[in-house]
Structure 1
């Protein structure tokens, strides 16, 4: 398969082209399907506001062409729901945070205040990266956990030496 897989995939406009793509991926088995998933994941990471609708359509098309991803690996039983949830969370972030407010340093924090465990923090991120991490982890948050996407306004940092 080609490197620009998602681009090629979105340009499949006929039933014949879709069927040929499906046959190509199916013939390659796990590796072919993995490349499709990796391409979709990378597209989610890179997606800007204007890319979300096409991304939703691409996932819907992939789900229609490959309704049983467990045929490639049991670990992909819920992959379509996971990708859809990640895109929905990223879409929500983009809807809530205006483009004019996206500059600066961002961080993503996850915690469960009712459990003795480490707080997870991804500091020093550009908005684009923070939005993806938030979108990736948001669907996985358990009932008593929380996730925060926040912009850093003031920072004092010192390094040991």
Structure 2
């Protein structure tokens, strides 16, 4: 039995090929579907501006072929809306921050000033890593929480001895 990848999936040339892929993943169950989701997640993570539309179409195709991902795992009941929301947030970041402004160090900060809890900070990131983290966490924000994607302009750092 083949272990098709996301790359195979996104380039399926015909309805017949889509149906064969669908049947194969259904027969493989959790592991086959997980490979597809891992590929989609990686595609979103590494997506550049020109990749967004293709990934949107691929998610739409996957949700059409696998309309009830809960059959593979209860944790995937809402996977299509989650992937759509993550991709939409990444698309927003990419369309808001011009390519010329993306160089340098970035960080993502999350906090809820209404509750006593630690601030979460992901410092020292390249732009595309920070953009993905922002996109991943943005759809999950609860009431009063905020998320910030920010570029570091000046850093003073000390290391204890």
TM-score by length of 2: 0.97
**Per-residue Cα deviation, 1:82-139 (whole angstroms, up to 9, x for no partner):** 0000000000000100000000000000000000000000000000100000000000
- Matches of 2:114 and 2:125 in 1, distance apart? 27
Structure 1 residue ranges (4+ consecutive) displaced by more than 3 angstroms after TM superposition? none
Partners of 1:97 and 1:13 in 2: how far apart? 34
Q: CA deviation at 1:13?
A: 2.5
* TM-score w.r.t. length of structure 1: 0.97
Gapped regions of structure 1 (runs ≥ 5): none
Q: Secondary structure at the match of 1:62?
A: helix
Instruction: State the Cα distance separating 1:2 from its structure 2 match.
Output: 4.0
Instruction: Name 1:114's counterpart in structure 2.
Output: 114
TM alignment of 1:7-156, pairs within 5 A: 7-156=7-156
Cα distance between partner residues in 1 of 2:24 and 2:3: 11
* Cα deviation digits, residues 33-77 of structure 1 (max 9, x gap): 011101100111111000000000000000000000001011100
1:158 aligns with 2:161: no
Report the number of matched residues: 160
